[in-house]
Amino acid sequence: MSTRLADHGRLIDRSKPMNFEFNGKRMKGYEGDTLASALLGAGQTLVGRSFKYHRPRGIIASGGEEPNALVNMGQGGRFEPNQRTTTTELFDGLYATSQNHWPSLEFDVGVVNNYVARFLPAGFYYKTFMAPRAAWKHVFEPIVRQSAGLGKVPKDRDVDTYEYFYHHTDVLIVGGGVAGLAAAKAAAASGAKVMVVEQTAHWGGRTPVDGGEIDGIPAADWIEATVEALENMDNVTLRLRMQGSGIYDHGYALGYERVADHTPGDGRPRHRLWRIRAQQIVNATGAIERPLSFAGNDIPGVMLAGAVRDYVVNWGVSAGDRTVVVTNNDDAYRTALVLKEAGLEVPVIIDARAAVTSPLAQAARAAGIRVAEGKGIAKVHGGKFVTGVSICAQAGEGSSLEEIKCDAVAMSGGWSPVVHLWSHCGGKLIWDEVQAFFRPDPARPPLSHDGKGFVLTAGSASGALGLSDVLTDADAAGKAAGKAAGGKAGRKAAPKAAAEVHQAMEPVWIMPQGASIQKRMKMWLDYQNDVKVSDVQLAAREGYESVEHTKRYTTLGMATDQGKLSNINGLAVLSDALDQPIPQTGTTTFRPPYTPISFGAIAGEAKDELFQPIRKTPMHDWHEEAGAYFEPVGHWRRPYTYPKPDETHAQAVNREVLNTRERLGLLDASTLGKLIVSGPDAGRFMDMMYTNLMSTLPVGKCRYGLMCTENGFLSDDGVVARIDETTWLCHTTSGGADRIHAWMEDWLQCEWWDWKVHVANVTEQLAQVAVVGPNARKVLEKLGGMDVSKETLPFMQWADGTIGGFDARVYRISFSGELSYEIAVPASQGRAFWDALLEAGEEFGVMPYGTEALHIMRAEKGFIMIGDETDGTIIPQDLGLNWAISKKKDDFLGKRAQLRSHMVDPDRWKLVGLETLDGTVIPDGAYAVGEGVNANGQKNVIGRVTSTYFSPTLNKGIAMGLIKHGPDRMGEVVDFPTLDGTGTVIKARIVDQVFYDKEGAKGNV
């Protein structure tokens, strides 16, 4: 059983004990522990259940590659599933529960899957659960879903905050081990701006565990001195607890900083996402140890040899009292030596290599440890924990030669460079035959905007495994990065370590090499997803030969560790099954992030009220105080209506319509787009932008205009005012201002760049109020200042002046049919002007109205609305707007498009008014049906409603719609089926689209 040792533990502070709770049990650890080391220290070897078979799972690794030891952590608004214990720093009061079991970790009903595992091989669900047809959704799938899924579902909204940082640097170094530090030192010496990020809370990586000397001093001292030196340099930024999570195009990198995961609730943001732009990135991301594939290699207590060593040295925790070491390389001997030195038993080192004579092996022998050469593990004994191993010949089929009692197994299948970040953005790999791993191919790096490589690797991430080689490689990478980022060439010698003599590792993909199918069905490749050697072999046999097919068919490498332990072993097994070399099989694609990063961090501060910017008119606060019900329009929020406390929205809208038609209404029209088009060629330009002839509009006059896309479709409309000889002011829809502005700029900058025209978007410079209704003139005259009489300011004219002391531009235009003035004042005066209008208007029955009343009033008048009568497929001719299309112009945007055969088809649906026979309202979106069905069996349709409202003015339903041959069918009745479920069809008569004040008498006063 694992336990806390009396000594060792360079990272823990035994004077600072910390209490935590796991599955309801109170446990004790120390400051500096990870949750994993604390669990092991407390004797908890069983920590979870696997995904598919619900097999018992223990801690296997000591870092981000851990596939098993994931827990539900925290409670309430700080609950988080799938938290990796090996990367979770312990804090006092930590609360965790294990995952994926019922009713308990020790007794899990789901383990029944394990007993029938033989009948649940890779891909079994593709071959069954097909009959009866409904059973998949109703029976099988719910079972699959319930038994999958790992962590629990959070119930509450996250209570923590997150933020973004931006950082520009010449050189980014990912990884703060000795390679990263050596590279940083070299890069910083070039004068370049350097940032070093390390995902753990400690500098130095694995080196302090393995020891050795650098530049003549102990490695740990060198690390300390180097960090101190870097800290004192102005051009260096060092960050701990920050992972280089992803590398993207053109030198973009994501830094995921876990600011307060270990100090929850201290007021700091929990995570910080760094958006980094670097000229050069050095990946000093180290290497990950590979497991060995032997039967029972997933039983809790079987761990990576390097991790076993880490737990002793870093945290003073032993994985077991008697640990069998099994390996194919020298490095695992270090683990044996560390265990021995800590007073623990190592009954045997099982080495697959036939004869082992390296210095490390000699040291182990000298320490009294037995080395069994040419041997492998035939089988691990145990269930929820290891009780022993059977030894066999590696070259054989697995007959047990000897059984050895133990409570832990430390395995090493060799090391693989962490190539993830190199690969994220297109870096290519080569297979290293000698060391049996993929490493970055320096000749094919990710390319930046200039077509040159922008990523380098340093140390074991390059494939250098001994300390001496690591330092040499890292120094060279740091110098190269500094120089490529514009620094000066480095001349200082690389840090030095004594060269080590290693005996070559021997690739071992299956142990023993001739293992039977029964054994191969017990050799785990992917611990979390339960993928075994036999599964990969089955995939190959069934023709899933591409590494991507095998991955997807077996789910190898698709778990939350993304195959950090399983990928190389899996593709080696696949290559063997296909009888092809490993590089021909290749790897699956490495995708960001390196380890999972929180959605909270990705979203940053942009949530709730800050999710998107809110654009506010100068009168916005007034609307809020008045209790307006808002609707989002682009980033604006416009009052839909101003309901009184006892009113429904519909009642409020009707009141607003009637009051405006009978007395006086005010609309905040500030969101309307206002674009100034000015210059000697502005008239010519306006004639291209609008379908109408705008160049002839006299100064002082207004004209309603249409704009089309080059594809002929109506895209925006609004009133244009001629300001002076060379200046026009274009009103656009609220949602269209930015789009139309960009559209104008596009044509001016990219097509007619020799035309002398400027466009300015002054939408937010002006507040605009529509003063509407029979009393409109009265209120303006009361405020006084300029002549707004019918004679001086007739319909479709504008004038500058003052009203009530406000500088104003008054447009005599109407979207309601009433007497109406739209008055623009400087934005800074908007609220004051609005208040003045309300005060002066009180005696005239003033009321503000919202967008819905606006819509109804324009529909009563048969005016079209962009977005209702148009949807991107409508040309002006469909809407009977031919009068607004100039026939005098040779060209305007959209003109050529409107000549195409489908655009001049007489069968196009045309706009008409619709009046229901019974006075009801046609539902929004209803279609008019014709006879029969089309070739696809769909009911034939002959039109649809585009705007449909209850008209409080007329006290009945009114609508506009597009109907095939509509204008030729006046008076005819068409059918609109409803969706009320009873087959009700609403009958509507085709009528003129102007329902109210056809002769225009109301506005012409």
Partner 1 sequence: MLTLHCPNCGVMADETELHAEGEAHIKRFGPGSSDEEFENYLFERKNPKGVHFERWRHVAGCGKYFHAARNTMTLEVYGTYSAQTLAPPKTLVNAIKKKHPEWEGWA
Partner 2 sequence: MRRYSAFAIAREGARYHQGWERAWNSPVPKKKYDVIIVGAGGHGLATAFYLGKNFGITNVAIIEKGWLGGGNTGRNTTIIRSNYLQDPSAAIYEKARSLYETMSQDLNYNVMFSPRGVIMLAQTQSEIRGYQRTAHANALQGVTTEWIEPARVKELVPIINLDGPRYPVLGGLWQARGGTARHDAVAWGYARACSDMGMDIIQKCEVTGVMQEGGKVTGVQTTKGDIACDKLAMVVAGNAGDLAGQAGFRLPLDSVALQALVSEPIKPCMDVVVMANTVHGYMSQSDKGEMVIGGGTDGFNNYTQRGSFHHVEETVRALIETFPIIGRLKMLRQWGGIVDVTGDRSPIISKTPLGNTFINCGWGTGGFKSIPGSGWAMAELVAKGEPGPLAADFGLNRFREGRFIDESVAAGVAH
Span 269-328, contacts to partner 1 by CB under 8 A: 277
Q: How far is the CB of 449 from partner 1 (least distance, A)?
A: 5
Q: How far is the CB of 895 from partner 1 (least distance, A)?
A: 5
Alpha carbons 398 and 413: distance in angstroms, whole number: 18
The pairing of beta strand 408-412 with beta strand 302-304: parallel
Regarding 891 and contact with partner 1 (CB under 8 A), the answer is yes
Phi, psi of 231 (to 5 degrees): -60, -30
CB 928 within 8 A of CB 944: yes
Answer for which of 10, 541, 896, 939 binds partner 1 (CB under 8 A) is: 896
Query: By C-alpha distance, which of 224, 208, 118 is closest to 467?
Result: 208
Contacts by 792-797, CB closer than 8 A, 24 or more apart? 795/1003, 795/1004, 796/701, 796/702, 796/703, 797/700, 797/701, 797/702
Stretch that binds partner 1, among 46-54, 245-253, 499-507, 694-702 (CB under 8 A): 245-253
DSSP 697: P
Residue for token pair 């949602």: 735
Closer to partner 2 by CB, 100 or 314: give it. 100
Cβ atoms < 10 Å from Cβ of 445 = 20
Q: What, of partner 2, partner 1, none, does residue 745 touch, CB below 5 to 8 Å by kind?
A: partner 1
Regarding 606 and contact with partner 1 (CB under 8 A), the answer is no
Closer to partner 1 by CB, 398 or 453: give it. 453
User: Looking only at residues 730 through 759 of this chain, which bind partner 2 when binding is defined by CB under 8 A?
Assistant: none
Q: What, of partner 2, partner 1, none, does residue 937 touch, CB below 5 to 8 Å by kind?
A: partner 2
Regarding 434 and contact with partner 1 (CB under 8 A), the answer is no
Rounded to the nearest angstrom, the gap between the alpha carbon of residue 572 and the centroid of all alpha carbons in its chain is 33
- Cα dihedral value 740, 745, 751, 753, nearest 10: 150
User: Looking only at residues 246 through 265 of this chain, which bind partner 1 when binding is defined by CB under 8 A?
Assistant: 248-252
CB environment 834-868: b (16+ within 10 A), e (fewer) = bebbbebbeebbbbbbbbbbbbbbbbbbbbbbbeb
Q: How far is the CB of 252 from partner 1 (least distance, A)?
A: 4
Q: How far is the CB of 896 from partner 1 (least distance, A)?
A: 5
Phi, psi of 515 (to 5 degrees): -60, 145
Considering Cα of 372, then 378, then 382, then 385, what sign does the dihedral take?
positive
Answer for which of 355, 899, 935, 1001 binds partner 1 (CB under 8 A) is: 899
Residue for token pair 């209008």: 837
Q: What, of partner 2, partner 1, none, does residue 891 touch, CB below 5 to 8 Å by kind?
A: partner 1
Number of residues located near partner 2, criterion CB under 8 A: 117
Q: How far is the CB of 415 from partner 1 (least distance, A)?
A: 31
Answer for which of 75, 104, 106, 126 binds partner 2 (CB under 8 A) is: 126
Regarding 975 and contact with partner 2 (CB under 8 A), the answer is no
CB 769 within 8 A of CB 812: no
Closer to partner 1 by CB, 173 or 254: give it. 254
Vertex 712: Cα angle to 706 and 714 (nearest 5): 35
Q: What, of partner 2, partner 1, none, does residue 150 touch, CB below 5 to 8 Å by kind?
A: partner 2
Site string for partner 2, 251-280 (x = CB under 8 A): -x-x--------------------x-----
Which helix H or strand E contains 641, and what residues bound it? strand 636-641
Alpha carbons 747 and 550: distance in angstroms, whole number: 52
Q: What, of partner 1, partner 2, none, does residue 82 touch, CB below 5 to 8 Å by kind?
A: partner 2
Query: By C-alpha distance, which of 258, 339, 281, 277 is closest to 306?
Result: 339
User: Looking only at residues 345 through 374 of this chain, which bind partner 2 when binding is defined by CB under 8 A?
Assistant: none
User: Looking only at residues 537 through 566 of this chain, which bind partner 2 when binding is defined by CB under 8 A?
Assistant: 538, 541-546, 548-549, 552-553, 555, 558, 560, 562
Phi, psi of 779 (to 5 degrees): -70, -35
Closer to partner 2 by CB, 827 or 929: give it. 929
Sheet holding 302-304, edge to edge: 302-304, 408-412, 323-327, 349-351, 371-373
Stretch that binds partner 1, among 99-107, 399-407, 617-625, 892-900 (CB under 8 A): 892-900
User: Looking only at residues 932 through 961 of this chain, which bind partner 2 when binding is defined by CB under 8 A?
Assistant: 934-939, 941, 944
Cβ atoms < 10 Å from Cβ of 910 = 20
Regarding 134 and contact with partner 1 (CB under 8 A), the answer is no
User: Looking only at residues 727 through 766 of this chain, which bind partner 1 when binding is defined by CB under 8 A?
Assistant: 742, 745-746, 749-751, 753
Regarding 997 and contact with partner 2 (CB under 8 A), the answer is no
Closer to partner 1 by CB, 650 or 742: give it. 742
Regarding 365 and contact with partner 1 (CB under 8 A), the answer is no
Regarding 148 and contact with partner 1 (CB under 8 A), the answer is no
Site string for partner 1, 442-461 (x = CB under 8 A): -----xxxxx----------
Answer for which of 605, 710, 924, 992 binds partner 1 (CB under 8 A) is: 710
Regarding 977 and contact with partner 2 (CB under 8 A), the answer is yes
Cβ atoms < 10 Å from Cβ of 534 = 22
Strand ranges, E, within 878-926 = 909-916
Cβ atoms < 10 Å from Cβ of 997 = 17
Residue 500 CB-density burial (10 A; 0-12 exposed, 13-18 middle, 19+ buried): middle
Stretch that binds partner 2, among 13-21, 192-200, 759-767, 923-931 (CB under 8 A): 923-931
Closer to partner 1 by CB, 362 or 873: give it. 873
Query: By C-alpha distance, which of 987, 984, 991, 950 is closest to 967?
Result: 991
Cβ atoms < 10 Å from Cβ of 983 = 8
Q: What, of partner 1, partner 2, none, does residue 277 touch, CB below 5 to 8 Å by kind?
A: partner 1
Alpha carbons 133 and 123: distance in angstroms, whole number: 19
Q: How far is the CB of 870 from partner 2 (least distance, A)?
A: 10
Alpha carbons 109 and 130: distance in angstroms, whole number: 25
CB 178 within 8 A of CB 496: no
Q: What, of partner 1, partner 2, none, does residue 710 touch, CB below 5 to 8 Å by kind?
A: partner 1
Q: What, of partner 2, partner 1, none, does residue 419 touch, CB below 5 to 8 Å by kind?
A: none
Vertex 562: Cα angle to 559 and 565 (nearest 5): 100
Q: Cis omega (within 30 of 0) on the bond before 121? A: no
Answer for which of 10, 17, 109, 128 binds partner 2 (CB under 8 A) is: 128
User: Looking only at residues 18 through 57 of this chain, which bind partner 2 when binding is defined by CB under 8 A?
Assistant: 51
Number of residues located near partner 1, criterion CB under 8 A: 28
Regarding 613 and contact with partner 1 (CB under 8 A), the answer is no
Give strand pairing partners of 431. Answer: 438
Site string for partner 2, 630-669 (x = CB under 8 A): -xxx------x-----------------------------
Alpha carbons 571 and 644: distance in angstroms, whole number: 69
- Cα dihedral value 167, 172, 178, 183, nearest 10: -130
Answer for which of 358, 711, 797, 920 binds partner 2 (CB under 8 A) is: 711
Show Cβ contacts of residue 480 under 8 Å, excluding neighbours closer than 6 positions: 280, 456
Answer for which of 150, 229, 233, 578 binds partner 2 (CB under 8 A) is: 150
Which helix H or strand E contains 97, and what residues bound it? strand 94-98
CB 223 within 8 A of CB 240: no
Regarding 91 and contact with partner 2 (CB under 8 A), the answer is no
Stretch that binds partner 1, among 130-138, 221-229, 243-251, 694-702 (CB under 8 A): 243-251
Answer for which of 597, 793, 836, 857 binds partner 2 (CB under 8 A) is: 597
User: Looking only at residues 152 through 181 of this chain, which bind partner 2 when binding is defined by CB under 8 A?
Assistant: 152-158, 160
Residues that bind partner 1 (CB under 8 A): 248-252, 277, 426, 447-451, 710-711, 742, 745-746, 749-751, 753, 890-891, 895-897, 899-900
